[in-house]
Amino acid sequence: MYPKDYRYTKEHEWVKVDGSNGTIGITDYAQHELGDVVFVEMPKVGTQLKPRQSFGTIESVKAVSEIFSPVSGEVTETNPALAGSPELINKDPHGAAWLIKVKLADPKEAAGLMDAAAYEAYIAAQAKEHSA
Amino acid sequence: MFRRNNEKSSVTTPATAEVRKTALNSIHRQLGAKMVNFGGWDMPLEYSGILAEHEAVRTRAGLFDVSHMGEIEIRGPGALGLVQLVTCNNAANLAVGQAHYSGLMTSRGTFVDDLLVHKISDTHYLLCVNAGNQDHDFEHIVEHNKFDAKAENAGPRYSQLAIQGPRAKDILQRLTPAPLDSIHYYHFAFGKVSGIDCLIARTGYTGEDGFEIYFAPEHSEKLWSDLTHAGQPAGMIPCGLGARNTLRLEAGMCLYGHEIDDTTTPWEAGLGWICKMEKAPFLGSDVLALQKKDGLTRKLIGFEMLDKRIGRDGYPVLINGQEAGRVTSGGPAPFLKKNIGMAYVPPKSTAVGTDVSIGIRGQSEAARIVALPFYKRPQ
């Protein structure tokens, strides 16, 4: 379910590091919690991001949620497919529905985030807390 | 994405209160529903997704567990007198087997709750009220019972299912000998569904044709299961409170705690059609008469967003750059494929076609006042 080569935040974003480039999206857990996504607002290319900085919003039928950057860097690209097909976020959150690409300020920074196993344990604990 | 638990129920419940469950709670969980606390009840928010469920009700049919709704029964020779005193619609106009939408009023002419009043006989009325308000409603009614009527807080004796959508009648007809064609809109009859005694009402909260059936809770699982099987070939699916909310908003219907509460009057909410001054006095009728004479300070309108951003509950409505009111309910209208909402604004700014703005995260977004309801089903 959760790709082994991605890193994850407690706020349910993921980042995939490829050299000095990073791709950022939201997790399957997040899309499930949101429900049907109907609109996504993205940052401008060139925006400088710091970790945990809000860089956009995702609107589901029910609610609006901010998206926070997992890492530092500069936005180099936003996913053009999401404007016309926001529902991609529900269908393929770890793949086709990536949100932005960034030029990483520090390619080693993401190593401080959770790996897939730690993230899976984290959401299992959250689900337990939820049902209690 | 989520820094805090952002699951907010629209009716606040004290953390200490025990969450109530309907008789179908385990069925909802087996079906994988996402559950939410609504008015103190653990209820399904969605099963397959709000968009799919909304579409099913507009084009086929949907099945809702609405057993959280409260029932209050008023009996005895004084029953009509009590109903007439506490509600604003004219229950004297109801025939046996007829129901109407009404307001339970405060002495200030505002809403304690909104409700459906069913006339079972000259001496017996069944009120269907909101889940989160039922105990307060009951106390309010008892407090004004100077008619020696017998009032019963009967919620625990009833489960309620709503079958809504253009195919609802055909689906329900497969399970009942009651001639559904002869139950007209806002009428009801007693009959068996799947062999179980039910009150079968042609009412709903979706803007579609459909039925709401009331029965003893011990039959809930059988009726849910039989209705599910009868509806499957027609494309009926289970629907949660998420779709119930988008459907009622698209149909321009008020939700207690949003468009109406104990600070709003029927005139303000565009509900003058349920406020029958000719039957006065009733609770608040003096205040309502004055307000009618003196004029309103605000009125409920519908708006649609002109761009893609969504005006949601609580966002400011701006007219000429000044805050003129707040959005009471706002969100996507899945069938109309627009973003819509309702809000209170000063009466001089309510004309259809008026340009307004909605303040969304510090920016002002263009919107336009449109006629209510947003959606009306084809007749």
Q: What is the secondary structure of B203-263 as a DSSP string? A: --SSSS-EEEEEE-GGGHHHHHHHHHHHHGGGT-EEE-HHHHHHHHHHTT---BTTTBSTT
Distance to chain B for A18, nearest Cα, Å: 23
The pLDDT tens digits for A39-54 are 999 999 999 999 999 9
Interface touch B6/A11, C-beta < 8 Å: no
User: Average pLDDT of B81-104?
Assistant: 98
User: Average pLDDT of B306-311?
Assistant: 96
Q: Please give the pLDDT value at position B4.
A: 53
Domain boundaries, chain B: 25-67+158-250, 70-147, 297-370
| Distance, CA of B30 to CA of B34 (rounded, Å) | 11
Phi and psi at B134, nearest 5°, equal -60, -40
Interface touch B1/A39, C-beta < 8 Å: no
Best mutation target among A13, A38, A122 (most B Cβ atoms within 10 Å) is A38
**Chains A–B, number of C-beta pairs less than 8 Å apart:** 55
Confidence of residue A132 (pLDDT cuts 50, 70, 90): low
Residue type, A65: S
Q: Please give the pLDDT value at position B1.
A: 77
Q: Are B128 and B70 in contact (CB under 8 A)?
A: yes
A-chain CB neighbours of B50 within 8 Å are: 35-36, 61-62
Interface touch A33/B246, C-beta < 8 Å: no
The pLDDT tens digits for B41-69 are 999 999 999 999 999 999 999 999 999 99
Residue type, A37: V
Q: Please give the pLDDT value at position B185.
A: 97
- B337 at the A interface (CB within 8 A)? no
CA-nearest of B294, B310, B159, B304 to B221 is B159
Phi and psi at B234, nearest 5°, equal -90, 5
Mean pLDDT of chain B: 95
The pLDDT tens digits for B246-280 are 999 999 999 999 999 999 999 999 999 999 999 98
For B25-67+158-250, CATH number?
3.30.1360.120
The pLDDT tens digits for B99-152 are 999 999 999 999 999 999 999 999 999 999 999 999 999 999 999 999 999 999
In chain A the domains, ranked by start, together with CATH numbers, are: 6-106+113-131 (2.40.50.100)
Mean pLDDT of chain A: 95
Strands B322-333 and B316-319: antiparallel
Q: Please give the pLDDT value at position B17.
A: 67
Q: Which residues pair with B370 in a beta bridge?
A: B302
| Distance, CA of B321 to CA of B192 (rounded, Å) | 58
Whether pTM > 0.90 for this model: the answer is: yes
Distance to chain B for A108, nearest Cα, Å: 23
Query: Given a cut of 60, is residue A17 above it in pLDDT?
Result: yes
Confidence of residue B379 (pLDDT cuts 50, 70, 90): confident
Q: What topology does CATH give the domain B70-147? A: Alpha-Beta Plaits (3.30.70)
Q: Please give the pLDDT value at position A127.
A: 78
Q: Please give the pLDDT value at position B199.
A: 98
Interface touch A38/B50, C-beta < 8 Å: no
Q: Please give the pLDDT value at position B16.
A: 54
Query: Given a cut of 50, is residue B6 above it in pLDDT?
Result: no
Using CB atoms, pick whichever of B1, B49, B246 lies closest to residue A30: B1
Q: Please give the pLDDT value at position B9.
A: 41
| Distance, CA of A10 to CA of B362 (rounded, Å) | 27
CA-nearest of A66, A63, A99 to A80 is A99
Q: Please give the pLDDT value at position B252.
A: 98
Query: Given a cut of 60, is residue B8 above it in pLDDT?
Result: no
Q: Is the ipTM of this complex over 0.90?
A: yes
The pLDDT tens digits for B139-191 are 999 999 999 999 999 999 999 999 999 999 999 999 999 999 999 999 999 99
**Which residues 6+ apart lie within 8 Å of B146 measured at CB?**
none
Distances (CA, A) of B40 to A62, B11, B163, B179: 19, 8, 23, 37
For B297-370, CATH number?
2.40.30.110
